[in-house]
Each structure stands twice: as structure tokens, then as C-alpha cells.
Amino acid sequence: MLKRGCVHMSVLPRRTLSTWFRDEDLEEKFIRSGGPGGQSVNKNATCVFLRHTPSGISVKCQEQRSLAQNRKIAREWLEEKLKEQVHGIPSKITKKIEKKRRNKQRRKSRRNLKLHKEHVAFFEENRHVLVGLVLLLHCSHLLGTETT
């Protein structure tokens, strides 16, 4: 493994059982993972970055603490993405991402609706005060006096 900054270039032997891509078409990098997993994850380069150079599709995997497992998972994900591009059928990964995106949008809509209801309730409760302030400002403008 050659070390270049915090990115390690692969010189490990590659074996692919996939018929969707050749090993020569892959650019593989190992990057330090982050997040839960303790010191082992933070110290070692266990995150796998794969790029299929002919199509430009790239995948980054840091699901497991093991480099070998992450390499296998990344290759499976890349194969799914290539199948998706060729056949046009959404892969499991794409479906999962879309579901997360929809759920996030739904939560955002609910939060905005709740905030809107709170604002409406506040203005309804304090309408008489707000009307009084508007009239005061309007009258002071007509009289040419300033209010603070």
C-alpha cells in the first residue's frame, strides 16, 4: 500500500467475480473511515472508494470495520449501480436513498406546517395589540411625529 497524505492507493491483488466490470477499469482508494467504531476505525484506512473509469460511476463504502468486507460491499454496490445505469431499473441502494429523501421532505413539511400554525395562533391571540400598533404608527405618520 502506497501512502499519499491520508489516501492510500491500492496495490493489493484484486479479484472480481463480476461480469459487469473488469479490474483494470477500477480505480480503488483506501481512505480513513470516521464515525463509530473506536480507535481502530479512526487509525486505519478501512473506507473503500471505487470508481469505474469508463462510466465515471463512483462508490464509497465504510459500512464495516474490516477493509476486506468494505471492498466486497463496495464492489457489490458498484455492480448494482452499473446494472441500474444499463437497465434503468432502480437498485436497492437508490430505492433506500429515495426513501430517506422522501421521509426527510415529509418531516420538513410537517415541521413547517406546525410552525405556520403556531404563527397563526400567535397573531390571532395578539391581533388587538398588533392593530393598535399599526394604528399608532399610521397616526404618528399623519401627524408628522415620530414614535419610538
| Segment 92-138, tens digit of pLDDT | 778 888 899 999 999 999 999 999 999 888 888 888 888 888 888 88
User: For 66-79, how does the pLDDT look when each residue is reduced to its tens digit (9 = 90+)?
Assistant: 889 999 999 988 88
pLDDT for 38: 67
Q: Establish how many alpha carbons lie within 13 A of residue 35's alpha carbon, considering only the half-sphere containing its beta carbon.
A: 8
- Interior angle at CA 29, CA 27 and CA 31, nearest 5: 160
Closest CA to 20 of 63, 81, 110: 81
Query: What is the band of 41 on the pLDDT scale with cuts at 50, 70, 90?
Result: low
Write down the pTM of the prediction. 0.52
User: For 2-39, how does the pLDDT look when each residue is reduced to its tens digit (9 = 90+)?
Assistant: 444 455 454 444 444 566 778 888 899 888 877 766 66
SS3 content of the chain, % helix, strand, coil (to 5): 55, 15, 30
